[in-house]
């Protein structure tokens, strides 16, 4: 059993209410199997994105992805924050996410970020079903990424994702990240964010 597989077993969410197993098991790994993600599996992840809910079916999400040991992978990696650079090169696949800011008739698409989040939720659950871990990262220099990849005006790089099959060696991480990787998972109680009959 790999370190990541053991962490998955040890770190299944202790939920207050019963939810599906894929959601209880999901977490954001910083170590991955070195196995290259199969092209068929990459296609399945984006197929899950393709069938996400989308306001007016505009599907404003966009992605740039690259496999490890490629020039494009290094370019994505170089757009990450210093903190994420400490571990993200463990991932066989790096992804940049983006959204289209306006509708085709030039109006601001207020729901584009919502749609991007929905599609990433679909991707995450599909990945979990396939034994693939996703670590979503806010720590990305979007302006640098825009220049690096010649992102057209009207699109906005938003986050990065590290992907890989579960597996890997915990010892490849710095000590502080090893502790984070194995720390007990916690969440705010439902009452702190869901208010019946009005804001509280």
Q: What is the CATH number of the domain that holds 171?
A: 3.40.109.10
Given this model, what pLDDT does residue 4 score? Answer: 52
Domain-located, residue 123: yes
Look up the domain containing 99 and give its range: 3-184
Given this model, what pLDDT does residue 11 score? Answer: 72
pLDDT higher than 60, residue 9: no
The position carrying tokens 């009959």 is 197
Q: Where are the alpha helices (DSSP H) in the chain?
A: 3-10, 21-25, 39-50, 71-77, 82-85, 112-129, 142-148, 175-182
pLDDT higher than 70, residue 156: yes
pLDDT higher than 90, residue 1: no
Quote the CA–CA distance of 8 and 126 in Å, as a whole number.
17
pLDDT higher than 70, residue 39: yes
pLDDT higher than 80, residue 69: yes
Average pLDDT (170-189) is: 86
pLDDT higher than 90, residue 174: no
CB 65 within 8 Å of CB 43: no
Domain-located, residue 200: no
Domain-located, residue 102: yes
pLDDT higher than 70, residue 42: yes
Domain-located, residue 9: yes
For the chain, the domain total comes to 1
Domain-located, residue 170: yes
Maximum distance among all alpha carbons in the chain? Answer: 53
pLDDT higher than 60, residue 5: no
Domain-located, residue 95: yes
Identify the sign of the CA torsion 136, 139, 140, 142.
positive
Domain-located, residue 189: no
Identify the three-state secondary structure at position 28.
coil
Given this model, what pLDDT does residue 176 score? Answer: 85
pTM to 2 decimal places: 0.91
- Taken as a whole, the chain contains a residue count of 200
Domain-located, residue 138: yes
> Quick one: CA torsion of 86, 89, 93, 96, rounded to 10 degrees?
40
CB 45 within 8 Å of CB 126: yes
b or e along 67-76 (b: 16 or more beta carbons within 10 Å of the residue's beta carbon)? ebeeeebebb
Strand partners, 108: 102
Given this model, what pLDDT does residue 12 score? Answer: 84
pLDDT higher than 70, residue 186: yes
Given this model, what pLDDT does residue 2 score? Answer: 56
Average pLDDT (42-60) is: 98
DSSP category for residue 67: E
Given this model, what pLDDT does residue 8 score? Answer: 53
Shortest CA distance to 99 belongs to which of 148, 152, 46, 138?
Answer: 152
pLDDT higher than 60, residue 20: yes
Residue-wise pLDDT tens digits, 73-122:
999 999 999 999 999 999 999 999 999 999 999 999 999 999 999 999 99
CB 101 within 8 Å of CB 107: no
10 falls in which pLDDT band (50, 70, 90)?
Answer: low
Measured at the CA of 50, the angle between CA 48 and CA 54, to 5 degrees, comes to 110
């Amino acid at each position: 059993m790999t370190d990541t597989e053991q962490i998955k077993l040890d770190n299944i969410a202790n939920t207050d209410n019963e939810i599906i197993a894929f959601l209880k098991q999901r977490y954001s790994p910083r170590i991955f199997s070195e196995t290259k993600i199969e092209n068929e599996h990459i296609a399945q992840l984006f197929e899950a994105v393709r069938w996400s809910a989308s306001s007016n079916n505009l599907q404003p999400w966009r992605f740039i992805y690259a496999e490890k040991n490629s020039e494009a992978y290094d370019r994505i990696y170089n757009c990450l924050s210093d903190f994420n650079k400490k571990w993200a090169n463990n991932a066989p696949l790096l992804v940049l996410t983006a959204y289209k800011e306006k509708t085709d008739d030039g109006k601001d698409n207020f729901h584009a970020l919502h749609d991007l989040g929905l599609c990433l939720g679909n991707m995450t659950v599909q990945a979990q079903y396939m034994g693939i871990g996703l670590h979503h990262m806010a720590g990305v220099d979007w302006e640098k990424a825009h220049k690096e990849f010649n992102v057209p005006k009207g699109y906005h790089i938003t986050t990065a994702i590290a992907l890989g099959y579960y597996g890997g060696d915990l010892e490849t991480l710095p000590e502080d990240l090893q502790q984070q990787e194995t720390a007990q998972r916690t969440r705010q109680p439902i009452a702190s964010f869901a208010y019946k009959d009005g804001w509280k």
